[in-house]
Structure formats: structure tokens, C-alpha cells
Amino acid sequence: MPLPEAIYHHTGLESSGGATRVARLLIDGLKEHNVECNLSFELGEGPDTAAILPDDFGRYLPRAAMAHIHCTGNWPALLASVPKKASCVITLHDCELFTGGCPYPLGCSVVDADCANPCPRKFPDSEELRKLKHELIQRLDPVLVAPSRWLAKLAKMHLFREVKIIPNGIPWPEAPPKKSEARRQLGINPSARVVLFVAHGGTSAAYKSGSAWRRIWEQVKAQVPEALCFAVGGDTAGRDGDLVIWPYVERDRLALLMSAADVLLYPTMADNHSLVVLEAMSQALPVVAYGVGGIPEQITDRETGVLIEPENEAALIEAGIEMLTSPGVARDLGRTAFSMGQRRFSAKRMVADYIKLYRKLV
């Protein structure tokens, strides 16, 4: 079966963010199949970038091209811009396509029904916005994809449409990295016990409990005096004793730090199919995380990581301490996570799954 002649991907940010990374990985994979690909975005992150507003996307979409939308800052404008007869795929990276504004409806009592009016989280005109997006989805009739069964089920419940499941994937090393070499390159003592926190926004990342990182770290440090902590992803750099704060770093640098660490503590309150978790698995780094959203579809408890009841901070801390004081357990979890993830969550597999979908739509 043939592939489309051209696929136009659209996302919010030019280079950062999980949705943009998935789009770029798909474009790289499609180049090997001689498919013309284009990536448009709404917010450039360089001095010479040319962004496209949501309501202009359809105007730049060639008649024979397939649209693949990953995210936007204005779903109604973008959906309305796409011609009705266009072939369109939408990958849901959060819940915003079918809610009244929230990316993740944390604690919302009506998450399984209509939006509350007024919205308890203060999103303006939430129910009207939700209905408008639903109407535009019905008009456009796109193929919907979700990386997790959790999000697919929620989207199907709200949009009354089938949602295909294609898990996220990332480039995967052929073999687990060597922790000793990573520590040598970073200047970390071989005997240190290294804790890692990572999130876009760092300690300001609300959905990732960024404000709790320091509190969690202090309790871990009290039990494991030789521990060293890296908190990565914010806007600043600094050091407070054995707490090292790094801003957003390039992917190669983060991979090196992950391969040097002993555990990733990931107190996420909401997640679809986290690329941070996949990055850790690809570096044989065990993850201790709250079992929310699609996280249990990535981590198998006590086999490839540790799942904690959401908001049970004490249990998260206890599991983190266990990973630091039982290096054999942490090593076994990390190695199993690496091999399982290599089979299930590689970029090559993700690209192949999308190619099958594209071919069915041609």
C-alpha cells in the first residue's frame, strides 16, 4: 500500500516539548521512505524562525497532503482552518482537545461527563469551548491517536469516536550505558548515591510536583547521607549542599546524567505517556513514580520500576531510599526496563506503527 506524497505536521513549539519531539522523530523516520514532510509550529524558539498561527495552518496545507496535528495553543482556530475533505490525523498528547481548557482534569468531579459551569479551575467559557471543539471534530472527521490506553479511553468517552493507540517511542541504545563512565565524565564520585528529578519547568512544574522536590530530597538525604541530588529542567542553575540545580539541558547531556544516576524520582500528578520515563528506561535507570494516567502502561511495578499510589509522598520517599540503599535491586530493575523498553518503546517501532496508519488512510 502506498504512503501519502506529503505529510504536514503541526505542533506548538519549534523544538522543545514532548509533542514536538514525537513529530520530529516521525519526520526523521518518514524520510527513509521518501515521504515529503513539513513541520509548522506556533512559537519559534530562535531568532530566524517563521511561525504559523493556528488559523493559518489550513491555508498552507497543500490539497494532496495529509495533515498530522500534534498540539496547538488554539484548537478551535486550527480545526476550523483545515479543509473539510482533508485527510487528517491528530495525536493527543494531553486532554485539551476534548476539555474546556485543562490539559489534565486533576480532581475534576465531572471528568467523565460534561464540563462544570462555571469551571472549578477558572477556565473561561469552558463548556462552550468544549462543545465547539466537539463540533469541529465532527466536521473534520480526523483519525485520532493516543499514546496510552488511558488517554484513548478518556477521549473516546468525550468525543464518541474510536481512538487508535500508538505508544510513544524514542531512539534506543543497543546496549545499556556504563554508569562508571558516565560518572567519570560528569565528575561524580563513584560511591555517591545519585537521585534525579526531571521535568520541563523544574521546581515550577506543577503537574510534576516540582514544588515538592526539595522536601522529598531533604527526607531522602536524612536517611542516605551520602546521597547527591540533581533537579533538572528549570530556568536557573545553582547548588545548595548536595542538591544540584540544572536548567534545561540538551538531550545528550540529560542521557549522560540519567546513566550516572541510581534512581529517577518522578512524582507526577498527571501524565499521558511520558518521554522522561522512556528516556530513563533507555539509560537503564529505574523510575519511582506515581501510578497515574499512562504511567502504569510504561512501568511494570517491581519489574521495570516502582509504582506508588498517587500523592503518597511517604511511600515515594521510602521507595527512593530503597533504590539508593539496595543497588542490586535498582540495577536489576534498570536492566529489565532497558530490555523491555527496547522491544516496546523504540522510535523505530513508533514510526512503523504510524506508517501502517498512514497507508490505511491513503
Q: Give the model's pLDDT for residue 194.
A: 98
Q: Give the model's pLDDT for residue 179.
A: 96
Of 303, 299, 275, nearest in space to 289 by CA: 299
Structural domain boundaries, residue 127: 6-169+347-361
Q: Give the model's pLDDT for residue 113.
A: 66
Helix (H) or strand (E) holding 146: strand 143-146
Q: Which residue has the higher pLDDT, 50 or 6?
A: 6
Across the range 324-334, mean pLDDT stands at 98
Q: Is pLDDT at 156 greater than 90 in this prediction?
A: yes
Q: Give the model's pLDDT for residue 50.
A: 79
Helix (H) or strand (E) holding 10: strand 6-13
pLDDT-above-90 percentage for the chain: 89
Q: Give the model's pLDDT for residue 362.
A: 86
Ordered alpha helix ranges (H), the chain: 18-31, 57-60, 75-81, 126-140, 149-159, 179-186, 213-223, 251-260, 275-282, 313-325, 327-344, 347-361
Q: Give the model's pLDDT for residue 112.
A: 67
Residues 193 and 260 in one domain: yes
Residues 221 and 104 in one domain: no
Mean confidence (pLDDT) of the chain: 95
Residues 206 and 145 in one domain: no
Size of the chain in residues: 362
Q: Give the model's pLDDT for residue 44.
A: 85
Provide the whole-model pTM.
0.96
CATH number at residue 282: 3.40.50.2000
**Residues 107-121: tens digit of each pLDDT:** 787 666 677 778 888
The rounded distance, in Å, linking the Cα atoms of 169 and 103 is 21
**Residues 255-303: tens digit of each pLDDT:** 999 999 999 999 999 999 999 999 999 999 999 999 999 999 999 999 9
Q: Give the model's pLDDT for residue 183.
A: 98
CATH number at residue 15: 3.40.50
